[in-house]
Amino acid sequence: MCGRFTQTKTREEVLEQLGEIELPPLYHGRYNIAPTQSVVIIKQQTPTIAEECVWGFENPKSGAPVINARSESLTERPMFKHLLCTHRCLIPADGFYEWKNRQPYYFQTLENRLFAFAGLWSENRCVIITRAADSNMQGIHDRMPVIISSNHWNDWLMVPKVGKSRCSIVSLEIPEKPEPLHTRPVSRRVNKVKFDDPACLDPGEIQSELF
């Protein structure tokens, strides 16, 4: 799954990497983005505009927000399958967290570049699509977000050339050889949602059984 992530880049750094894109007025770097908080997304209908959205679909049955959507069952779940053709989005990030025995680990690209999670949106809410873990997770978790590098964003946002009744995720290609990610333990400060500052990325403890 994916339960926390970061987008620490400044407005200037984002614009330098992505070029002409309109950012929300109050856009700023974040170090501990959590479910039900406001996140920045890019919708397939407006690929040059980034806008704010609440992370998590409402779930009347449990009351807990649905924050992730499994890629393997997107075409089967009623909550998601009708969104696949017209409600795709990208959720920009530059890292994400996963936990092992309450110790958070931070994942980022080797060059610490901006990427995006594949996502779906509905009204003013969004979810992150997840996949089975690859070698980058190193035994920390069995799931991870679907990560899309910036040069492939248009591939995900492209509307599939199929009828609505046959809409699928055919244009979402999950690479067999994943892009390498750098992993390191970070401060347990990130365990508390109230902390959202650079100290969340301070060095943490290494658990020897993981390696």
End-to-end CA distance of the chain: give it in Å, rounded. Answer: 21
Q: What does the alpha-carbon distance between residue 178 and residue 76 come to, in Å, rounded to a whole number?
A: 26
- Amino acid (1-letter code) at residue 182: H
Q: State the catalytic residue, choosing from 53, 89, 98, 200.
A: 98
Q: Do the beta carbons of residue 104 and residue 190 sit within 8 Å?
A: yes
Domain definitions of the chain by residue range: 4-204
Strand 147-149, strand 103-109: pairing: unpaired
13 is catalytic: no
Q: Which CATH class is domain 4-204?
A: alpha beta
User: Residue 159's pLDDT is what?
Assistant: 65
Q: What is the pLDDT along the chain (211 residues), one digit of tens a residue?
A: 789 999 999 888 888 888 778 888 777 889 999 999 999 999 988 888 899 999 999 988 888 899 999 998 888 898 998 898 889 999 999 999 999 988 999 999 999 999 999 999 999 999 999 999 988 888 899 999 999 888 888 888 876 655 555 555 445 556 556 678 999 999 999 999 999 999 999 998 765 444 3
Is 89 one of the annotated active-site residues of the chain? no
By the 8 A CB rule, do 4 and 32 touch?
A: yes
pTM of the full predicted structure? 0.89
> Buried b / exposed e across 124-156, counting CB within 10 Å, b at 16+?
ebbbbbbbebbeebbebbeebbbbbeeebbeeb
How far apart CA 16 and CA 10 sit, in angstroms, is 10
